[in-house]
Chains A and B, each alone.
Chain A
Amino acid sequence: MKLNDLEKKMLGGELGAAIKAAIEHQVKVGEFFGAEDFVPVTQAHIMADTESLGEAGVAWLESMARSKGQVRVPTITDPRGTDFTKVGVLKHPAWIVELERRAIEAFKKLGVLMTDTCINYQTIQAPARGESVAFGDTGVVIYANAVCGARSNYEGGPSAVAAGLTGRTPRYGFHLDGFRRATLRVRVGFQPRTLNEWGALGGLIGRLAGNYWAVPYIEGLSAAPGSDALKHFGAAMASFGSIALFHLEDITPEAAESGGSELKISHQVNEADVEALQSAYAVEEEIDVVVFSAPQLSLYELRELAALCDGRRFTKPLLAVTSPQVKPDADRFGLTKIIEEAGGHVLSGMCFYQSYAREIAEANGWKRLATNSVKLVNILGGYGYVPLLATMERCVEAAEKGRLPK
């Protein structure tokens, strides 16, 4: 890779051991992908729950902090592995809490802002069109690329830490114009109505597209979806297909110039296809727990959830997970109180699947999990759950009656 004078100093260790380690990692990755140089980034976002980090990852973070590393651009965090105020609800053992505390302490020493959110584009600062960033959550990356028109690859934790420390990232993939052009054209034959339908549609298109370098161009939607719908749509597409960018005809900012309308239609997705995907996650009616998470809930989703919870009394646990930025507003507006008076729990700063889902299941005896998140049902099978997909309304009813209504 071609390095400028500053980057050469970083690589030579003149700016400290942490910066040197960071740029060495970035050069290794950049050279693998044939990056010619680095692109400066305005912000970095780090996925770093301790279930993923493990003891080794936390020790690495601590070593970077001991080396006096300091981030050069605003650097924020994805959800943590627990909500410290709800440890008793989750039944997280002390070792998980301690590992989380160590990771947080190391991040703070590096100058990282502990935002603990996977909806930073709704709550912290959405990137602008053309802005190069280093984001580290698939749902965040796909939203930033597709909806905002910003530029990011998937930056896994170590790479996002490195980008924060160096203020740059290798210029490859979705930082380059050529990779942002549509590669397949998908015709959609219906307009999703609920968040789980948006998620299911995204999941189907992700599965059809099939790999990171595919860029779907999607046409046929009759109305522009809102931010929460696009959040579930993108998160599910990224989860099912490892997709980082899509274009929606007449909706997303780069659709017109993506070349998608010039491609032959390769796939048609209809309502029956979405129903079939949802049916695959409707294998049981009895439930053990209801979870709203993945991505974290916006204020508007919590508002809708609170209205559905009002006056009910749950017989099964209901967890609603949001960001630390939204939670205080949910408290102020009385939404938390309504949900928790019904017997639910509003958690913040974590995300269910990033919070030791296997350990939570074993400690609480939870197996059959109902949710409206297509991303969550796609992930949790590997953690031993029987994930059940339903609308928010049906999930709330299931928390009350112990089974999903027909």
Chain B
Amino acid sequence: MGSLVKGEALVAHDGFSARYDLDRIKGVFSRPAHKLAGQSYVGKVLVLHTAKGGVATAWMLHDMASRGIVPLALVLNSVNPILVQGAAFGNVTLLVGFDGDITAQVPHAATVEIDPAKRTLRVL
């Protein structure tokens, strides 16, 4: 879902919820227990395990996009409907479902290209 993007990957075998995990004012992961705690997510390709938590992400991606503090793309092994609804509403690129664990296949901080139309992720 969404458009082709290229950017730096932030990789962790951890979940994702905009409400639970992010400080959406500062643009950083704020949940102390999150493996990306303290890191900026703005403009990054988030490569994570699965969606977690509640429904707020469906609104929050849209709001973050309007303020320019949104991830460039979300790449996950699996999602719940909320991330899909949020990506659709906020026009955030989303790629889901891989042959293996995508968080083990993409090096942290690598530059990647996401092409939702071809359903591909390339490490550049």
Contacts and interface: CB of A to CB of B under 8 A. Distances in A.
Nearest to A32: B84
Closest 8 CB pairs of A and B: A156-B58, A54-B63, A56-B66, A212-B80, A382-B31, A52-B59, A52-B56, A156-B85
Contacts of A353: 19
Given A55-B63, A55-B66, A241 B52 contact: yes
B58 A242 contact: no
Contact of A381 (B22, B33, B66, B80): B33
B66 A157 contact: no
Contact of B81 (A55, A56, A155, A354): A155
Contacts of A246: none
Contacts of B22: 382
A168 to B, nearest CB: 15
A44 to B, nearest CB: 13
A138 B54 contact: yes
Contacts of A364: none
Contacts of B52: 240-242
A379 interface: yes
A38 interface: no
Given A155-B85, A159-B81, A212-B79, A379 B20 contact: yes
Contacts of B114: none
A103 B38 CA distance: 32
Contacts of B59: 47-48, 52-54, 57, 156-158
Contact of B55 (A157, A241, A358, A383): A157
Contact of B32 (A55, A240, A358, A381): A381
- Candidate in B19, B30, B59, B89 with the most chain A CB atoms within 10 angstroms: B59
A54 B54 contact: no
Interface in A165-208: 172-173
B122 interface: no
B54 A137 contact: yes
B50 A378 contact: no
B46 interface: no
Given A25-B89, A242-B50, A159 B58 contact: yes
- Candidate in A55, A57, A154, A379 with the most chain B CB atoms within 10 angstroms: A154
A121 interface: no
Main secondary structure of the interface of A (DSSP, over half): helix
B54 A32 contact: no
A382 B80 contact: no
Interface string B43-66: 000000011111111111011111
Contacts of B71: none
A212 B19 contact: no
Contact of B19 (A48, A52, A384): A52
B54 A239 contact: yes
A57 B62 contact: yes
Contacts of A244: 80
Nearest to B30: A382
Contacts of A211: 50-51, 78, 80
Interface string A363-384: 0000000000000001101111
A28 B88 contact: yes
Contact of B56 (A29, A47, A238): A47
A384 B88 CA distance: 29
Given A156-B85, A244-B80, A382-B21, 10 more contacts: A52-B56, A55-B63, A136-B55, A138-B55, A156-B86, A159-B85, A211-B50, A212-B80, A240-B52, A242-B15
14 contacts: A32-B1, A47-B55, A52-B59, A54-B66, A56-B66, A153-B81, A154-B55, A154-B81, A155-B81, A158-B88, A159-B89, A211-B80, A354-B56, A382-B34
Contacts of B34: 382
Contacts of B79: 212
B30 A212 contact: no
B62 A210 contact: no
A56 B51 contact: no
B51 A212 contact: yes
B67 interface: yes
A333 interface: no
Contacts of A381: 20, 31-33
B112 interface: no
Given A52-B59, A212-B80, A242 B85 contact: no
Contacts of B84: 29, 32-33
Nearest to B1: A32
A84 interface: no
A149 to B, nearest CB: 20
B53 A242 contact: yes
